[in-house]
Structure 1
Amino acid sequence: MVGELERPLAARRGPKHDRQAANPRGRAGAPLRRWPGATAALLATLLAPLSSSAQSGPQPAPEQPAPAPSTPAEAAPAPARAQSMEVPVSEAVRQEALMHFEKGFALLNEGAWSPGLSELLLSRKLFPTRIATYNAAVALRKLQRYDEALDMFETYLRDFPVSGEEREEALRQIAELRTLVGTIELVGAETGAVISVDGQDRGQYPPIRPLRVPAGNHMLRVFKEGYDPFVIRVDVAGGQTKNVQVTLRRLARYGSLRVIESSGKPVSVSIDGIVVGKAPWTGILSVGDHEVTLRGEGKVGTQPASASVKSQSVTTLSLLAEELDAVLHVEPVPIGASVWINSVKVGDGVWIGRLKQGTHRVEVRANGYLADAQSVTLSKGGRQKLRVSLDRDEDAEVWSKPPKLTLDATASFLIAPTFGGDLASGCGEACESSIGLGALGMIHGGYEFGSGFGVGLEAGGIFAVQSLENRTASVVPVGVPPVPSAGTANDALRLGGFLVGVTAGYHVGERFPALFRIGAGALLGEVRDERAGTFELSRTPVAVEGEQARTTFDAAPQVDFPWAAYIYLDPEVRFGLRLSERFELSAGVKLLMLLALRKPTWDGTRAIPAGIDGVATYPAESVMGDFALMVAPGASLRYTF
């Protein structure tokens, strides 16, 4: 950003003091430029094309070398060449341009950047010169209007001859500004739709030039007659392009508005911050209140006015355009707050517009915040920026919804990839293991604060089954040498139990609510294991006449009921639909994560028939692991007391 000036401009006039004119510089290295003998030199520049045009039509002033900005006192006067004009400009206009330049330069030197810029821009409009263009670019950067500063520096290099050092300085400024400026790329808008950024007209769609904006947050509006306006707030990063998909929908309810300028002045009509045409103007708009302003040449226009459009009828608004001497820039916080000027709503978010000099009432409103009204006094030719920060209204409904008691019941389908434990570890290539399937039912009771945060209790039941076939297993004969007999076993597992715990969650949304909740507690239950298998005999079998001796025996089905104790966590997310004031239906998914306090383990003392070996026992194997994960998608019905 361009900083404060290093040296004041010599205020006195005369050849001696002209040679000592200062060349102030800002922190960003962009000096304001005023060459020695600036008044006489600029006047010569402005008048030179006039004398030549009297003989042979408009001609640019002859090129003269410009001095380096850092050593103005050592060089001869070297005026900037004026831009070529297709139409000759009168001497009176040129002298007026010179007057506005001198006034603007003096204001910039005093730190009055906004009014000084206004004078320089007016000087450029009357007769563009190199010096006015350069200093206008410096002032725009100082005012943080980075996109306009970038355009002005590019215009400076494109339209005027500059020395090598001046070009180098301008290119450095352009490189820095491009990191502070982003681009908005619009896609899908209707052809001819009008584009507005932060209340400033940016042409029609598709735009001819890139929509450059300073990095930051901006209010984008796209309007076409017969359609609902497209309004969106966009964040644009410096040096980046933000793509915006524009969707314009045809109006469902509409009326007509006719806008007239009562004195017949040529003015453009702006509706809700978007230029829609020239007065008199008639167009179709949505039903409701609209903000209307007129803008003419220079400072001619009207302050914001309100027009109420009624369905299927024509509303006529007659306004008188007059001189608007000041500019007001309102920046509300929060950024989307609505802005009212003299009791007329002018839009949501940042507003920049022309007003009469004098005192105006500015009001900013936002849901959940205390409205703030201020009086601002604008001086003639001034540009004032007003930042209005709203205080949060702690009593507003949006922040302080009443607390409530809630009760909901959830039924879920349960999926468990595996129960884990020793049984799952023994399931090799020949083993077949099914996915665990079951059901989970939970009841939640809670206390929900107005913010949506809530705490509560939960309880429920769980049921799940899983089977393993042909897993590697063994038995140990009893009363014979304790040599394990290898074989295979089939297990049918069934988990059943109760859960109880505490919960914490966040509930948000009205029509389509969402719930984010997590519970923690204990699962107490048992795992029923029905087991059968085929195993080798540990003793040599004796053949029976007519039959072949078997070397294996079939273990008859046995059932064990080992107890299970787990700690659980069950995070869940649910999205729903409000059925009435008290009832809400939702669907979601819960993860049930189990961490063992006591693993369910087969009773290793249980005896089973073992053929000629007599009896045997299965080893004490865990039928569930230290950790188990289950997924439970389901539906829930919630009641609010």
Structure 2
Amino acid sequence: MRRCRRSAAFFLAASLTTFAARAYAAADPPRAGEEVEDEARARFEQGVELLQKGAWSDALVAFSTSARLYPTPQAINNAAICLRKLGRYDEALDQVGALLLDFPDLPAEKRQAAEREAAELAKLVGAISVEGAEPGAQITIDGRDRGIFPAPRPFRVLTGSHLVRVLQEGFLPFEARVEVVAGETLRITVSRQRRVPEAPPPAPGPAPRAAPPARRFGIELAGAMMISPSFGGEIMETCTKRCDATPALGGYGVLRGSYAIGASLDLGISAGFLAGRKTLTDRRTPLHPPPSVPVGPVDDTLTLSGGLLGIWVGTRLGKQPFLDLRFGAGAMLGRMSDVRSWTDAETHAAGPFGATSFGGFLYLDPEVRVGVRVGEHLSLAVGVEAMMLLAVAPPAWPENRAFSDPRYGIFTFRSESLAGPVLFLVLPSVSARYTF
């Protein structure tokens, strides 16, 4: 009996397939453009060819597209056949139901065949009825959207296990896994959906700390040892053979003011004082007029001192510890003194004879420092400066400066520069800086 019913259904499909073109032409078409109608007919004919080859999935796509563009009982029936071949009995039953509902004027023979097919498919599927949900809730079965609650009819599904979910905004989701038996309708009552609990307001935390004010102004005090290999000048040119010259040693102090531009750039002014001393021993220098008694080698004590005023620019890299790179420039107004004395062959000590000369210099002062912050305002650093003094008016032993000695009478030394055009100074320093 079951085989007969299936044969009747397949007979209906075969008849609809065989006479598709004739029936399609005879159908009373809905309002549609000619292009849409032609497209629907082409997709239907494509589906017929695929159906005859057993390409069920591709044929289903073709018939479904044709029915969507231009609904005919032939396209809907053939789509149902493809769905049954693919084992999608619930969807096939929906298609047969649509065929009976949407085309009430089907010939009696074809309607009876469709009704028999619907009865056969109904034995292969079950149904799920959802009750008690919130109006407007979304219903999904096995991840497939099946519409909103309340539904006009139970949802047809294949036999076996299914996951039903009911979702509504503002409510906790309902979820149930059920087993569906063929030919029966399983009813699911949704327990009263609870609203999503509102999150409690966050506990008041500590008030955010205000950002510390920008530290733009600063004041710095630095001290350094001064080291120079030579002051240069014409006086050094006479220090030959047995003459011995010591490096110049001294000290340097500077007070700097700064203003920060951005996060790492500083501009500032500086004011400082520099003093250094060096000695020359056994240097030969003539007297004028030449004395009758031989003069012994002269010992010189040279002292350079002066005040500096300039500007500087620098950048700070890193946080703790930090690296400062600076470059300064300015002017120095200073003086240089030379104190001379000697002892001749007869152990006669002459001197000291001293003279002072003022001079002007420009200076360039690159500097590198490494330091750490000590608290919020104070930082300490060590570094080294390589200062270069450029003589604008080099200091010199004054011309015609006369001296008197009981043994040598009245005499003068020749005029000679006490410093060269360029002096190099190395200044290893320590510093403290306060920002506010």
TM-score, normalising length from structure 1?
0.33
Based on CA coordinates, which of the two structures has the bigger radius of gyration? 2
More helix by share: 2
Relative contact order higher in (CA < 8 Å, ≥ 6 apart): 2
